[in-house]
Structure 1
Amino acid sequence: MSNKTEEIAPGATLADKVEWLIRNLWPADAQPPRNNVETAAAIANSTGEDISSTTVWKLRTGRQENPQLKTLRALATFFGVPIGYFGRPSETAPIDEDITLKALRRDVEHGIIRPEVLRALVDLSPEARWVVDEMILSAAEADRRRQAAP
């Protein structure tokens, strides 16, 4: 599981969203999963909803684009997100932003991002912020390419 916050791209698929949740909003009180079996077990143990490792695999790989409502409810409950997060991309932008901020807050609380870094970002001039924005976006793109490489 990654400790960094990854971007939710506009138009993200259900698979992208599920993967993002697993990487960025895994509950702090749950053992990080090493595979789909452990992911399914953690969700089932936490929510009481029986979800199989095959379902988790299908969701993560985009092989299941229209899961049952009870599956989406279990995911929403486990990750602490509104069920609307799984809706159409054109309708979820405000939810995506809220969830991204939730992931950032969690990373600050766990010392992954230092609070003084966020405070310094707020204090920067608009020009300096633009430079930092470009650096972060470039680093994120390079990281995605690196992770996608075989």
Structure 2
Amino acid sequence: MGNRGPTMADKLDRLFKTVRPGGREYSYEEVATKIRATGVMISHTYIWQLRKGHRDNPTIRHIEALARFFGVSPVYFLDDDAARQIDEQLELLAALNDKSVRQVALRVAGLSAPSLEAINGIIEHARRIDRLTESGGEPPRHPPAPAPDDTQ
């Protein structure tokens, strides 16, 4: 088969890097403590082992608890197609956490299709200048993490 999808470690790492309240990554201890508070026994070391790929066969109870903690469906860990869709949604949410991105998104709402097309052209040009667009015109799969903002 050759080309396997993302591993459990890849998916968990993606959640840690994307679900970042206040702009910082959760610690393993924070995750373990909050999950244990729900009655599921898990250690910070075990979570670290899962993220680093040293362990790769968690129980369904651990999968459900991790999914609940990060606000995704447990299917995220079990189905690669679902994981891709959820990753796209997480990227959008992460981008919208940036106050400047959110302001631009809100200001373009309601513009006509030709206006949106023109704005998209300007954005693509700016992305090329900042070297954020890979060859072929597609944005990188994993854009840089949004800069911390001054959220309320």
- TM (norm. structure 2) is 0.62
Distance 1:114 1:41, change over 3 A: same
* Matching of residues 108-147 of structure 1 within 5 Å: 108=98, 111=99, 113-119=100-106, 123=116, 125=118, 126-134=120-128, 135-137=131-133
Output the amino acid matched with 1:116.
Q
Cα distance in 1 for residues equivalent to 2:70 and 2:39: 14
Distance 1:67 1:142, change over 3 A: closer
Deviations 1:71-117 (A, max 9, x none): 00001111110111112424532232233333344x15xx4x44223
In structure 1, the partner of 2:85 is: 94
Cα distance in 1 for residues equivalent to 2:63 and 2:43: 13
| Pick aligned residue for 2:14 from 17, 20, 28 | 20
Structure 2: segments with no counterpart, 5+ residues: 110-115, 146-152
Q: Are 2:56 and 1:69 equivalent residues in the alignment?
A: no
Q: Are 2:40 and 1:44 equivalent residues in the alignment?
A: no
Output the amino acid matched with 2:70.
F
Cα distance in 1 for residues equivalent to 2:143 and 2:93: 24
Equivalent residues, number: 127
Output the amino acid matched with 1:65.
D
In structure 2, the partner of 1:6 is: none
Output the amino acid matched with 1:68.
T
Structure 1: segments with no counterpart, 5+ residues: 1-9, 145-150
Output the amino acid matched with 2:90.
I
Residues 93-102 or 122-131, more deviating:
122-131
In structure 2, the partner of 1:53 is: 44
Is contact 1:15-1:60 (8 Å) kept? yes
Alpha-carbon offset, residue 62 of structure 1: 0.8
The structure with the greater share of residues assigned to helix is 1
* 3-state DSSP of counterpart to 2:31: helix
Output the amino acid matched with 1:136.
L
